[in-house]
Structure 1
Amino acid sequence: MTGEPTGRGAGSRLRALAREWRPSAVTMGAPTFPLLVLFGLNAVDELDRTAFAVLLPDIRDHFGLSDSRALLLVAVSTIAVIFIEVPLSFYCDRRNRVRIATTGAGLWALFSVGTGLAVSVGMLLAMRIGAGGGRAVVNPTHSSLLSDYYEPAARVKVFAAHRLGNSVGQVLGPLLGGGLAYAFGWRTPFVLFAVPTAIFVLLSLRMREPVRGHHERRAAGADEEAIATEDDHETVWSTMQTLARVRTVRRIWTAVPFLGIALFGIPNLLSLIYEDVFDLNAAQRGLITAGVEPLQIAGVLLGMPLVARISAARPDFLLRFVGMVGVFDGVLLVALAYSPELWVAVGVHAVLATSIGTLAPAFFALVSLVAPPRVRSASFSTMAVFAVPGIAVFLPLIGYVSDHLGIQASMVVMVPVSLAAGLLLASAARFVKPDIEAAHAESLARVGG
């Protein structure tokens, strides 16, 4: 008799969860087509990126690289992408973001094919920079478009749904990439992954450009004429001055050098751990990663509705949440590297995947709320510039420690790095609500509302 109520209770919770994630509930009644297309483009972008991370040991061995040189390749290509993305973000604040997103998706498909055809380290680096340059449109265009397609109250779940595309790509990328590489060689996945990208590029041609900042002006009480009036564009210098006046943004800039390692480096580090510590081949690494990554989806589906409800009343919670998860994930990496058995490592990886999937949607939703709409594309991308010192210093440092003391010892470096990021982010929480109110008021004032 006790099992029946329990079964009904579980069914009720599943139905409630399904209602939470109905497309119309996520977008709060706004059209879902833009979110679905941007979700798809985000997912296919991950195929190339995660396949490269899983196949890094094979690529390293093919070109005769050490761990430090392989990670230096990742660091150099990542930093180069940042320097492409940042000037592009200023352009996105002035031009049609839908067309830029579509063009970038086509470019990363072409350079993904080029990665599979690379015959030297120099050509490989050029193709990775090119593929990354195409992907560089994602943050400034997708994040800004989502902020203008959907109202502030919907953004936590909208960004969570969009970032589920990353999780889908992170499941399929390792699974398909590892399997195809095992059967046909590491080059094959990069050539074939261009096909699904082309499909979503064609779908994106139906999207229309929204008016920048209209939701913020409506929240500030503007009339319909003011809501439909787009704010004037800023110069590059005035854009940076505008962002620097936002106290939350300034504090995030100081945390990003430490947070960047978690956002950019973890997939590559996991592959090296699985090969060097547990002696797994490309197919085995891909199978484990693909099996674990669905837990990112579970983490988002189960956790983000609660984050959305709490942050609706306390938006500063988003920043505290990102900081706590970042510290937790740094500790988990060390535990994974020192796991005595493979099954223990996979279990720790499962917990890591469940938590890390919630980082990006909370972070991007927070930035969309505090950044002035006219410089929102730049707000998402210029933060990446501040990740450069962290990537340039910590990834090669981790590689150096790995070469001399082993990959396990190198993971210990992650603990103080993630702790610094968490403390800096938590210290900015008190600025969040005033910065949101200022963004609304300024957007209205600039159109004469």
Structure 2
Amino acid sequence: MDASKSPIEQDFSPGYKRFALAMLTAVYALNFIDRQILVILQEPIKAEMGLSDAQLGLLSGFAFAVIYVTAGIPIAYWADRGNRRNIVSLAVTVWSGMTAVSGLAQNFSHLLLARIGVGLGEAGGSPPAHSMISDYYPPAQRATALSIYSTGIYAGILVGFMFGGVLAEAFGWRTAFMVVGIPGVLFGLFLRFALKEPARGRWEPPGEGGSSPGLKQTLALLRNRPSFWYLALGSAFISYVSYGNGNFIPSFLIRNHGMSIAEVGTALALVSGLSGAIGTFLGGYLGDKYGARDMRWYLWIPMLGILLAYIPYSFMLVTEHTMLGLWVLFFALILNTFFLGPCIAMSHTMVAPAMRALTSAALFFVINMIGLGLGPFLTGLVSDLLVPAYGDQALRYSMLITTQVSLLAVLMFALAAKHLRTDLARQRGEAA
């Protein structure tokens, strides 16, 4: 069974589709293990290399994000034409190898180059994986399937935080990088033989898939989809908060609550990992359930989740009670992570199948340049600037400032919902 067969001929069993989704979810988990391992290790790295919070933000955010989003567009263009399975396999092998190399870094420049290498590899993960999932599953199941895939983020955070903290305390931060990186190289090679490439557009009406358009054509179409840009900005602004604060929560708990790196790793593995997985799955499930009545629920659900999370998230940053703060953070993160599955599903629904990988790349370009690129760097920079006035409390106030950006996300999702029906009608007319 291969991608050369017609959509009618190619029929994967339910068991195989679950297996493929599990493998791609594992890819995304590994993506975030290798991406987020730096976050739990940054305090010992800062102490050894004498880094500032702004430099930590560059390593975990901007330097990674620039290469990630820059490479993501041409790789997505390749994925809309080439074999997506092979691209994912190669990407996993590259980013895992560069994670292991991070453990050999002797200074800031070495570590910066290694993280750029991780970003280059990870750029080849999500766009082809999103496209494959949309061809494994029909439209009515896509948000749920993509949300299950997106739980890989939080599975990766759980594993990275828990084992990264324990490994760092027992063997040092260099060993932690190598232990999580080397197995990924082997997993990347395994994927080349374990996954099957699905036919493109197999769930769409005949002729809707069309030829593979270029970036210029895709962006020209997206210019006529205002709901896409509003949902992209909404996703980017909540990601700004998630990455900006999330990348410094370990440092915040160590500096302001006196926790050890192993304690922080275990606590955040459970809090961030479990809450994010629950919230991401629920967001997709609720989107598919209520979106069947009105497609705008795919955007209203993220909007309401972020709005309800604002006060508890802010409370977590000001309370001196560590356990209470962690419990509040757990529930706030469930609500804050509703957005990903519905937003990916809606972005795919408003374009032709042959544009999906490029559309995912455009979505993640906006999310990662604003969220990952600016969030950690500006949060770290503001923390450095506040040190003269607030001392040890500088990071706390910087994170509170970052939290206010979530209100912009609420506004963007409301505007996206306002335009969604018109954009979906336009897509149906263009596909006819």
State yes or no: 1:398 paired with 2:364.
no
Q: Which residue of 2 aligns with 1:216?
A: 204
CA distance in 2: counterparts of 1:65 and 1:355, whole angstroms? 33
1:113-170 deviations in Å (ceiling 9; x for gaps): 0111111211111111111211111221111111111100011211121122222222
State yes or no: 1:190 paired with 2:177.
yes
- Tell me if structure 2 keeps the 8 A contact 1:256–1:384: no
Q: Which residue of 1 aligns with 2:3?
A: none
Distance change >3 Å, CA 81–CA 332, structure 1 → 2: farther
Specify which of 206, 230, 240 is matched with residue 194 of structure 2: 206
Aligned length: 409
Alignment of 1:38-49 (within 5 A): 38-49=24-35
TM-score when scaled to structure 1?
Answer: 0.84
Q: Which residue of 2 aligns with 1:262?
A: 241
Instruction: Please give the secondary structure, in 2, of the residue aligned with 1:245.
Output: coil
State yes or no: 1:349 paired with 2:335.
no
Q: Which residue of 2 aligns with 1:310?
A: 290
Alignment of 1:97-136 (within 5 A): 97-136=84-123
Distance change >3 Å, CA 310–CA 270, structure 1 → 2: same
TM-score when scaled to structure 2?
Answer: 0.87
Distance change >3 Å, CA 295–CA 391, structure 1 → 2: closer
Q: Which residue of 1 aligns with 2:37?
A: 51
Distance change >3 Å, CA 52–CA 330, structure 1 → 2: farther
Tell which deviates more after alignment, 136-145 or 328-337: 328-337
State the one-letter code of the partner of 2:214.
T
Question: How far 1:330 moved relative to its partner?
Answer: 4.7
Alignment of 1:30-179 (within 5 A): 31-74=17-60, 75-179=62-166
CA distance in 1: counterparts of 2:356 and 2:152, whole angstroms? 21
State the one-letter code of the partner of 2:211.
D
Instruction: Please give the secondary structure, in 2, of the residue aligned with 1:55.
Output: helix
State the one-letter code of the partner of 1:179.
V
Alignment of 1:18-29 (within 5 A): none
CA distance in 2: counterparts of 1:184 and 1:118, whole angstroms? 16
Alignment of 1:293-372 (within 5 A): 293-300=273-280, 304-372=284-352
- Tell me if structure 2 keeps the 8 A contact 1:140–1:377: yes
Instruction: Please give the secondary structure, in 2, of the residue aligned with 1:95.
Output: coil
CA distance in 2: counterparts of 1:172 and 1:268, whole angstroms? 15
CA distance in 1: counterparts of 2:130 and 2:218, whole angstroms? 17
State the one-letter code of the partner of 1:418.
S
Distance change >3 Å, CA 120–CA 337, structure 1 → 2: same
- Tell me if structure 1 keeps the 8 A contact 2:73–2:362: yes
CA distance in 2: counterparts of 1:171 and 1:392, whole angstroms? 22
Q: Which residue of 2 aligns with 1:421?
A: 409
CA distance in 2: counterparts of 1:296 and 1:380, whole angstroms? 21
Specify which of 414, 427, 430 is matched with residue 439 of structure 1: 427
Tell which deviates more after alignment, 417-426 or 264-273: 264-273
State the one-letter code of the partner of 2:323.
W
Question: How far 1:299 moved relative to its partner?
Answer: 3.6
CA distance in 2: counterparts of 1:286 and 1:240, whole angstroms? 41
Tell which deviates more after alignment, 238-247 or 115-124: 238-247
- Tell me if structure 1 keeps the 8 A contact 2:33–2:160: yes
State the one-letter code of the partner of 1:400.
L
Question: How far 1:257 moved relative to its partner?
Answer: 4.8
CA distance in 2: counterparts of 1:201 and 1:329, whole angstroms? 40
Q: Which residue of 1 aligns with 2:6?
A: none
State yes or no: 1:249 paired with 2:235.
no
Q: Which residue of 1 aligns with 2:7?
A: none
- Tell me if structure 2 keeps the 8 A contact 1:38–1:162: yes
Question: How far 1:64 moved relative to its partner?
Answer: 0.6
Instruction: Please give the secondary structure, in 2, of the residue aligned with 1:313.
Output: coil
Question: How far 1:72 moved relative to its partner?
Answer: 2.7
- Tell me if structure 2 keeps the 8 A contact 1:174–1:290: yes
What RMSD, in angstroms, separates the aligned Cα atoms of the two structures?
Answer: 2.4
Question: How far 1:107 moved relative to its partner?
Answer: 0.5
1:324-379 deviations in Å (ceiling 9; x for gaps): 33344454442222111111221122113323443322222222222322211111
Alignment of 1:372-391 (within 5 A): 372-387=352-367, 388-389=369-370
- Tell me if structure 2 keeps the 8 A contact 1:28–1:154: no
Tell which deviates more after alignment, 58-67 or 102-111: 58-67
Instruction: Please give the secondary structure, in 2, of the residue aligned with 1:208.
Output: coil
Question: How far 1:196 moved relative to its partner?
Answer: 4.0
CA distance in 2: counterparts of 1:123 and 1:232, whole angstroms? 43
1:373-392 deviations in Å (ceiling 9; x for gaps): 22111111112333435655
1:82-138 deviations in Å (ceiling 9; x for gaps): 112122222222221111111001101100101111112111111111112111112
Distance change >3 Å, CA 201–CA 367, structure 1 → 2: farther
- Tell me if structure 2 keeps the 8 A contact 1:79–1:391: no
CA distance in 2: counterparts of 1:289 and 1:353, whole angstroms? 11
CA distance in 2: counterparts of 1:236 and 1:306, whole angstroms? 32
- Tell me if structure 2 keeps the 8 A contact 1:320–1:429: yes
1:41-99 deviations in Å (ceiling 9; x for gaps): 11222222222111122222221111122113322222232112122222222221111
CA distance in 1: counterparts of 2:192 and 2:291, whole angstroms? 31
Q: Percent of counterpart pairs with the same letter?
A: 25
